[in-house]
């Protein structure tokens, strides 16, 4: 794929500046920044040159502006800066045509071609109540996977299910006490059992011991224990799969912690050779220089059973062997920061230089999340509730004559899920936020439904205007509002790159809000009463040009929403 319009102009500007200065382009590349919109598109500060050239920065800028000539760029000096502005033409036509010809792939590139990125995400625990942090991991991970795919990376998405560990013991012995046999395939029931068993184990050491013992039997490969485990696992996976299908998520691999059962001894042996292991109160720990108060990395408990860290070590090595990754990402809550720091440190101490290419893509907490059913948050319940609430709004809007649809249910599903996903992804992933149903579903706020509506509106304008034109005259798009919309559209490829590099879907979310805001300003231009729409007002050539811009906006909104994993209904 060709470089984006934006980066092509940027590169040309950097090269012309470098030539005028007689330095390699790489030397000044990082200094060329997006300009303050009032001054153009790109900006180069001359202060760093003042000393060597023994001239005042404004004088340097003035002479550079004279000698830097790039077709399609208007270059001017503004005080100590050399600014460049994309000329109305050919920029306008290039942006519109690129977006329209690439369709929903617009924003992508091929920077990742031939490289593999491993993304560990969602990774819920089986037979345990699902916490909202798994929903976050699911949505952030899905978007980070989409972003990398858009850039041409091969993505190996792994759902590393928490399907091994003492919690099975708890569910198993809990089931003997509280279980209703006919409900053994019901996820909600398993969760109830787990919650009761967990409480009891905390209060009653003998009960806790029974749970541990059950897990020991699983690790020893006892067939009866394993059969029960398998059944609980299937029930949970079935429940999760319904969610993944609703969200349009497919994992390349569903391999949880149990996948590494029986594969840990070679890893423990290797650690024993380098960096070494120690015994501590009967348990085996990695011999590392620990900071004061730092808990040690446990490989085996005193009863010989393995731990979360042991399995993650085996998994990391296995993933590197299988995928030869460029990056290996773990989309997991910030609470586990220490676990990942230690995991990477142990691998480094084992001489695995590739541990530097592993990243803990951490995220903060969500407050205020509960569902109508009570305090245990099941993933599906959250999505169901979102749909129910969206359906109320859809029906209100149908009654008010604001939308026409013959499938209110499907629309409500798209809006409800879009609301949850966007409500999460619009926040920088590391910040905590408070979940609020009204906020995420506000059709007129910074919400998923608002963006879906903006997209549907472009579809509607195109329908009313007789469809997107095959040809148009880009020179007619001279309104500042039109140029402002174009500039946001042009930025998407740059934003995709940054969002992928930093595993930060919120960059796309913010870009979407910018685009919707600029388009809305354009659309309502001079029509406070909203009776006359500028886009369909002009003569035929003007109308065609404006519809082409509307079409490019539609494509860009759809591409951005798809990167976040949000559906784009055409009618709402
Ligand atoms: N199942 C874990 C939890 O719920 C998350 C697993 C994350 N991935 C990993 N490789 N440790 O906390």
Averaged pLDDT for residues 239-251: 93
At how many degrees (to 10) do helices 88-102 and 480-501 cross? 50
pLDDT category of residue 167 using cuts at 50, 70 and 90: confident
- C-beta of 123 in contact with ligand 1 (< 6 A): yes
How many CA atoms does the CB half-sphere of 181 hold within 13 Å?
0
The confidence score (pLDDT) of residue 424 equals: 96
Nearest CA to ligand 1 atom 10: 312
pLDDT in tens, 385-409: 999 999 999 999 899 988 888 899 9
Could you give the CA distance from residue 158 to residue 388 in angstroms, rounded to a whole number? 31
Nearest CA to ligand 1 atom 6: 123
| Closest to 122 measured CA to CA, from 156, 157, 166, 171 | 157
| Closest to 393 measured CA to CA, from 434, 425, 440 | 440
**Residue 493: which residues within 8 A CB-CB, separation 6 or more?**
3, 4, 6, 7, 106, 107, 108, 109
Averaged pLDDT for residues 439-462: 94
Supply the Cα-derived Rg of the chain in whole angstroms.
Answer: 28
Strand partners, 329: 119, 359
Dig out the tokens for 364 from the structure.
Answer: 């903060």
CA of 393 to the centre of ligand 1 (A): 36
Cis, bond preceding 561 (omega within 30 deg of 0): no
Averaged pLDDT for residues 356-360: 98
Averaged pLDDT for residues 31-50: 93
- C-beta of 566 in contact with ligand 1 (< 6 A): no
pLDDT category of residue 528 using cuts at 50, 70 and 90: low
Averaged pLDDT for residues 291-303: 94
pLDDT category of residue 123 using cuts at 50, 70 and 90: very high
pLDDT category of residue 367 using cuts at 50, 70 and 90: confident
| Closest to 162 measured CA to CA, from 257, 300, 228, 253 | 257
pLDDT in tens, 207-226: 999 999 999 999 899 999 99
Q: State the average pLDDT for the chain.
A: 93
- C-beta of 125 in contact with ligand 1 (< 6 A): yes
Label residues 110-134 b or e (16+ Cβ within 10 Å = b): ebbeeebbbbbbbbbbbbbbbbbbb
- C-beta of 120 in contact with ligand 1 (< 6 A): yes
CA of 311 to the centre of ligand 1 (A): 11
CA of 544 to the centre of ligand 1 (A): 52
Ligand 1: residue of 120, 123, 159, 365 to mutate (most ligand atoms within 8 A of CB) is 123
The confidence score (pLDDT) of residue 484 equals: 95
In order of their start, the domains of the chain are: 5-86 (3.30.1360.70), 116-275+302-367 (3.40.50.620), 389-564 (1.10.730.10)
Dig out the tokens for 344 from the structure.
Answer: 């990477």
Nearest CA to ligand 1 atom 1: 162
- C-beta of 160 in contact with ligand 1 (< 6 A): yes
The confidence score (pLDDT) of residue 184 equals: 86
Task: Specify the long-range contacts of residues 275-278, CB closer than 8 Å, at least 24 apart.
Answer: 275/346, 275/349, 275/350
CA of 560 to the centre of ligand 1 (A): 28
CA of 23 to the centre of ligand 1 (A): 49
């Amino acid at each position: 794929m060709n470089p984006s319009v934006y980066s092509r102009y940027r590169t040309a500007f950097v090269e012309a500046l470098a030539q005028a200065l007689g330095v390699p382009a790489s030397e000044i590349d990082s200094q060329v920044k997006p300009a303050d919109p009032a001054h153009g598109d790109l900006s180069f500060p001359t202060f760093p040159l003042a000393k060597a050239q023994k001239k005042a920065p404004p004088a340097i800028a003035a002479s550079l502006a004279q000698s830097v000539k790039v077709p399609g760029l208007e270059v001017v000096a503004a005080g100590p800066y050399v600014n460049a502005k994309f000329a109305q033409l050919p920029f306008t036509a290039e942006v519109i045509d690129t977006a329209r010809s690439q369709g929903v792939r617009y924003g992508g590139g091929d920077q990742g071609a031939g490289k593999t990125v491993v993304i560990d995400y969602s990774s819920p625990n089986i037979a345990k109540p699902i916490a909202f942090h798994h929903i976050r991991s699911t949505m952030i991970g899905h978007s980070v996977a989409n972003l990398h795919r858009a850039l041409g990376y091969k993505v190996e998405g792994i759902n590393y299910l928490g399907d091994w560990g003492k919690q099975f013991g708890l569910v198993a012995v809990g089931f003997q006490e509280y279980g209703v046999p006919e409900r053994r395939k019901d996820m909600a029931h398993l969760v109830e059992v787990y919650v009761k068993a967990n409480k009891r184990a905390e209060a009653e050491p003998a009960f806790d011991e029974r749970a541990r013992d059950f897990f020991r039997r699983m690790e020893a490969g006892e067939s009866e224990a394993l059969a029960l485990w398998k059944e609980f696992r299937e029930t949970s996976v079935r429940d999760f799969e319904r969610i993944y299908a609703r969200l349009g998520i497919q994992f390349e691999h569903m391999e949880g912690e149990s996948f590494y059962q029986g594969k840990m001894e070679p890893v423990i042996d290797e650690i024993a050779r380098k960096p070494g292991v120690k015994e501590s109160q009967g348990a085996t720990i990695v011999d590392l220089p620990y900071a004061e108060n730092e808990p040690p990395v446990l490989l085996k408990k005193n009863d010989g059973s393995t731990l979360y860290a042991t399995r993650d070590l085996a998994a990391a090595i296995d993933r590197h062997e299988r995928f030869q990754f460029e990056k290996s990402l773990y989309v997991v809550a910030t609470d586990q920061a220490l676990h990942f720091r230690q995991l990477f440190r142990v691998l480094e101490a084992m001489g695995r230089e590739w541990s530097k290419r592993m990243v803990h893509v951490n995220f903060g907490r969500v407050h205020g999340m509960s569902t109508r059913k009570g305090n245990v948050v099941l993933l599906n319940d959250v999505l169901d509730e979102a749909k129910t609430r969206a359906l109320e709004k859809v029906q209100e809007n149908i009654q008010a004559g604001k939308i026409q649809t013959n499938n209110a249910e499907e629309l409500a599903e798209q809006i409800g899920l879009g609301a949850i996903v966007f409500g999460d992804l619009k926040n920088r992933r590391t910040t905590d936020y408070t979940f609020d149903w009204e906020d995420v579903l506000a059709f007129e706020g910074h919400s998923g439904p608002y963006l879906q509506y903006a997209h549907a509106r472009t579809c509607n304008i195109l329908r009313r205007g007789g469809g997107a034109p095959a040809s148009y005259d880009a020179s007619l798009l001279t309104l500042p509002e039109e140029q402002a919309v174009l500039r946001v559209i042009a930025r998407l490829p740059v934003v995709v790159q940054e969002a992928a590099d930093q595993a930060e879907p919120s960059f796309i979310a913010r870009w979407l809000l910018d685009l919707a805001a600029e388009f809305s300003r354009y659309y309502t231009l001079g029509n406070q009463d909203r009776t006359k729409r500028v886009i369909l007002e002009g003569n035929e050539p003007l109308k065609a040009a404006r519809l082409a811009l509307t079409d490019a906006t539609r494509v860009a909104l759809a591409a951005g929403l798809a990167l976040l994993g949000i559906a784009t209904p055409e009618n709402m």
